Structure 1
């Protein structure tokens, strides 16, 4: 074999050219690594199985790891270098998938490959000279043993007409919580390839979010060199190359993940947990982990270790530059062509990004301590963010730099590469493998607090109406008008006189404006009269419809609360009389502003996002869809040119966000964080106690975050359906056998809809939060889910099926894996998404 057939890259990546006949083992004349190594002999094993990645029309990257059979599956490799064989064929060996049966058929490659201890006995081999749109089968042989059979499909030729592509994108597979049943479901799909959007591993062990229920087949992780996050106990994080290697090895021992790699080529990027949570460049951002001067702790050696382990264990067609002594010694952003149908652009949104616009190390003037996550990455005041981002960009410009240099997610070089790729793309669809969401996720704190205070007042006001009704001969309409006037600031005497005047006018058939005029004549202000008339009318109509007693008082309470209290708080904010009366003015005052929920994603790099959208819009680049992970939720919506413009700007592209395979949901994180914020926590979660015959009480934390963020107002039935997966999981945790779960869940949900706390209090709360109108560009939200996304792509449309999975049953993955499927459809030529 000559150098054209077998080339070395950094003594690790090897390359050979396939042919129609088997290739002989490499000789020593070309000096390639492994050419002078004897083939391994004796008993060997492949504890992490095999994998393929980066399918192109003429090439593939193939991977395995082999160790002697007596060796521990996840220990660091020791001993001497040796060599193994790789054989590849186009003969259909699908029946052998999942086994180490001998590969049958004529070979198109038979290659001798080095197995080097310095790379933990991993092998990365690029096979070129392949045929486009062709399915191949491969197998490695070490000594007396064969690996499991692997399969991959090459991409179509760049000029090929492609009728359809089908693939899955997935993300966030934490070993330490929940289950990996979703992988079983994915393995059964008919796919061309898999896109992995990062968080393939989690660098921490024993972190708070990793202490929930987990399937028994996932035992506890033990980092060989891990460092405690705080003090000398509790959670640890990966710190050395052996730590990161251990995580990849351990994760890849799961047979379900192995099955995915054996069956489909992966196109993978990383997110943050392949290095450290919410990473930027080589900086660690754990709360409390700052330098003495308060700056973020930079860890170039740790970053390089993370880079190396990812490079060794991910079958990606990239190179690691061993001569580069910086932490930016690897480039993983790259693109793929799938005929005339799709251009796939994969970006790296961690290695080059600038610090978060408001650094975690910024001092909170109220405490004199660093902000940490809250206020820097999460729940960031939008005006403050805009001001600081503008200052940073102006500072960069003042010293001759691109203004985005200090406010970038991609870095200047990668940003220009992205723009060039999008502009030059000739395929119908331009898909973007994007790590963190492009969708604006904002919250108007003024409206939210006004809504919560109004909700909290409903019961009190309704009780007052009930009391007043006793003195009006049971006339709840008049009682409601009286309480409305008093709530709006009138004296009791004036409110009573005005209520009688309003009732008299109403009895005579007068219109609402005439009733209001009577109220003003009796001493009310115009605003007081307006709410008194509105309350009188609503209660009178409810009484005419057959309601009575407490139900009428509740109608009055809701009308007064949302017709007067809410707008009064919205108008006067912290100076509202109702804020003062709540006794929580100091606690609430900081929330009377607009917030960005998550500035670790593109909301935290807003000006660069606008620059990218302007590039697409100016150059008429259409059919751009981002496939996103990271946030452990399903979202679908449009990415607009300027979310801060009137009406939220103009849609330019679409972002489809997939929930994590197993990681705890975005809702669960915010629920726990918000539980310490008193009334504010109601924006996220509402406790519901559900009595279940024979089981006692099942306690649920109902997800209100979706409605706060913009989900459409629910009905009682849709509200109940929303909690089906959580309820099913809670019943399973109570010991209900899986064979009975569906029936029991259905019965409990039917009873839940008849529960007044559910069908009145919770329903009203969800409807009011939905009415806040936050984030109208979000067309689908499910922030409490695990799962994956199945894409079917044709020239006319992109269909993305969000597959939500059921929760654990005891300590095992559910037999019924997929709980529900929600379909997002993007039609070619239109930057919009429809949901079904």
Structure 2
């Protein structure tokens, strides 16, 4: 019989995975529960489950792949015969899961296969990293438990690191509040021809979802009452991911393409900053919540082993290459940032917000980014991240407020990053952003007070999948934002996603919008398209 583990033992285990400051601020029994979530103890592993005892489909949450390398890709699923139950309908026992990846959809040409263990400590999530794959090609994959077989997923490896890639096509999505609409944009994204999808944050929202699914206003089913509260505990976050992953359109988009994910704030709590919660409350209690949120995030995303959480920390920033054509430096602008200045919101910049010591990335991630640019030989350097990078004013008169939650609230941090890009000789900088539930196309300027100053790169901001409900082509602030920001080439408040094509001559960005999300059946169209020439940054409407 397994002996109970003392709170002191749990805290000592946590200390091995946390920095001294973070450990000292997170003490007590609550922290022990939150931080005692490391790898399962294989020496005392739970008993294996006889697969014949699984009488319902365990693959209700679909399949996914992500973080493609030239010879490998992450394969993901999570076993959940009863996805809306806390334990997902499985006992606290290990489950053996078979997996297979093949060159064809019929699995006649197997590239790799094997089995792995789904541990109850990880909510029966599965992360597989098959190796020995060929670069730049499509593969198909599936999982098996007993007599049950998962849906088939389609994925694609990255090209060889030194490959002279002619072109690359990718998508960017963000902000999918389940309670504010259907994931119609993802349904259409599943049919697009792209090499990879970047999710730029707010994969889920912590807010309560009522029995009718919020704006979805279900008439044919009732959601359990445990969704109708804000997520706080590990169980809360796990259940919320189950709700999202059970969505057919989200499953379709995951099964169609490999995804590269990064978070923003709502995966944990709105507008948090490092260990500071939204309301500025107790850091110790918040780190316990953050540990639960980060744990559930890893369990439910196609992430590699280096992204396993260590208590309240999870290193999410990482680098991917697509031959010599593009380098993607994926950022985390939540976990390491200084608290928002001036009590957050839209405020006129002052000495606090313009303090040169302030950072949105943290010093270590900033060095990692700039060092990566110094070593890059890619034609395009793309920065998938969360919050708006370019300056945004919300009135034409001086002084104008700017968003304290975006890079505008950390101007010294932004300048250091741009200085690093200039010093590294980055000529084709593309920043991908989400967060704000609108499409923007913007030039990144050397001096925003001088519209004719040098353009240092371009920023492409994707609107939300569902957050904000149907939205409008011209939001209330549409006219003033365009006038106050001459570098803003486009602004659209509808739901949708972004498509980008890179080649050796230039970039093309297609801003896709859907007609509605508050009821099923929305159509998709391209609202606007822009290009930017390689070596001569600046957006031009097609």
Conserved 8 A contact 1:800-1:823: yes
Q: State the partner residue of 1:377.
A: 345
Shift of 1:833: 0.6
Shift of 1:618: 3.4
CA distance in 1, matches of 2:478, 2:125: 44
Instruction: Indicate whether 1:389 and 2:392 are aligned.
Output: no
Equivalent of 1:214 in 205, 213, 216: 216
Deviations 1:523-544 (A, max 9, x none): xxxxxxxxxxxxxxxxxxxxxx
Equivalent of 1:161 in 161, 164, 181: 164
For 1:322-333, list aligned pairs within 5 A. Answer: 324-325=310-311, 327=312, 329-333=313-317
TM-score (norm 2): 0.85
Conserved 8 A contact 1:37-1:114: no
For 1:666-681, list aligned pairs within 5 A. Answer: none
CA distance in 1, matches of 2:390, 2:155: 33
Shift of 1:218: 9.8
Shift of 1:110: 2.4
C-alpha spacing 1:160/1:357, structure 2 compared with 1 (3 Å): same
Q: State the partner residue of 1:86.
A: 99
For 1:483-522, list aligned pairs within 5 A. Answer: none
CA distance in 2, matches of 1:65, 1:823: 38
- Structure 1 SS opposite 2:130: strand
Equivalent of 2:436 in 618, 631, 644: 631
C-alpha spacing 1:142/1:281, structure 2 compared with 1 (3 Å): same
Instruction: Indicate whether 1:830 and 2:539 are aligned.
Output: no
Q: State the partner residue of 1:253.
A: 246
Conserved 8 A contact 2:497-2:513: yes
Conserved 8 A contact 1:172-1:632: yes
Instruction: Indicate whether 1:51 and 2:64 are aligned.
Output: yes
Q: State the partner residue of 1:707.
A: 479
Conserved 8 A contact 1:779-1:833: yes
Shift of 1:299: 0.3
TM-score (norm 1): 0.56
CA distance in 1, matches of 2:168, 2:258: 14
C-alpha spacing 1:118/1:170, structure 2 compared with 1 (3 Å): same
Equivalent of 1:304 in 291, 298, 313: 291
Shift of 1:667: 7.5
- Structure 2 SS opposite 1:271: coil
Q: State the partner residue of 1:814.
A: 521
Deviations 1:354-412 (A, max 9, x none): 00122x2xxxxxxxxxxxxxxx322x023xx2x2234x44xxxxxxxxxx2xx110000
Q: State the partner residue of 2:370.
A: 419
CA distance in 1, matches of 2:415, 2:515: 38
Q: State the partner residue of 1:795.
A: 504
Shift of 1:142: 0.6
Shift of 1:107: 2.2
CA distance in 1, matches of 2:395, 2:330: 33
Quick check: which has more Rg, 1 or 2? Answer: 1
Shift of 1:35: 12
For 1:168-317, list aligned pairs within 5 A. Answer: 168-205=171-208, 213-214=215-216, 216=218, 224=226, 236-285=229-278, 289-291=279-281, 299-317=286-304
Equivalent of 2:380 in 429, 434, 438: 429
Deviations 1:440-464 (A, max 9, x none): 111346x4xxxxxxxxxxxxxxxxx
Instruction: Indicate whether 1:345 and 2:329 are aligned.
Output: yes
Conserved 8 A contact 2:451-2:486: no
Q: State the partner residue of 1:805.
A: 514
- Structure 1 SS opposite 2:240: helix
Shift of 1:211: 9.4
Deviations 1:6-60 (A, max 9, x none): xxx96469xxxxxxxxxxxxxxxxx899999576235342110111110110111
Shift of 1:205: 1.4
Deviations 1:547-587 (A, max 9, x none): xxxxxxxxxxxxxxxxxxxxxxxxxxxxxxxxxxxxxxxxx
Instruction: Indicate whether 1:641 and 2:446 are aligned.
Output: yes
C-alpha spacing 1:212/1:440, structure 2 compared with 1 (3 Å): farther
Deviations 1:286-329 (A, max 9, x none): xxx344xxx8896000001010000110001253566x55x2x2
For 1:432-581, list aligned pairs within 5 A. Answer: 432-444=383-395, 447=397
Conserved 8 A contact 2:46-2:92: no
Conserved 8 A contact 1:158-1:337: yes
Conserved 8 A contact 1:205-1:221: no
Deviations 1:192-234 (A, max 9, x none): 1111111110011159xx997336389676574x8xxxxxxxx
Instruction: Indicate whether 1:132 and 2:135 are aligned.
Output: yes
Shift of 1:825: 1.1
CA distance in 2, matches of 1:653, 1:217: 48
CA distance in 1, matches of 2:470, 2:272: 18
Shift of 1:131: 1.2
Q: State the partner residue of 2:400.
A: 595
Shift of 1:350: 0.2
CA distance in 2, matches of 1:297, 1:655: 36
- Structure 2 SS opposite 1:833: strand
CA distance in 1, matches of 2:378, 2:424: 15
Conserved 8 A contact 1:57-1:157: yes
Shift of 1:63: 0.8
Shift of 1:85: 0.7
C-alpha spacing 1:343/1:217, structure 2 compared with 1 (3 Å): farther
Where in structure 1 are there 5+ consecutive unaligned residues?
Answer: 1-8, 14-30, 94-102, 227-234, 361-375, 394-403, 448-592, 669-700, 711-772
C-alpha spacing 1:253/1:444, structure 2 compared with 1 (3 Å): closer
- Structure 1 SS opposite 2:129: strand
Shift of 1:826: 1.3
CA distance in 2, matches of 1:253, 1:211: 13
Deviations 1:601-639 (A, max 9, x none): 111111111111122223331111011111111111111
Conserved 8 A contact 1:596-1:603: no
More helix by share: 1
Shift of 1:168: 1.1
Aligned residues: 501
Equivalent of 1:76 in 73, 77, 87: 87
Shift of 1:665: 6.9
- Structure 1 SS opposite 2:410: helix
Q: State the partner residue of 1:753.
A: none
With CA pairs under 8 Å and 6+ residues apart, which has the higher RCO, 1 or 2?
Answer: 2
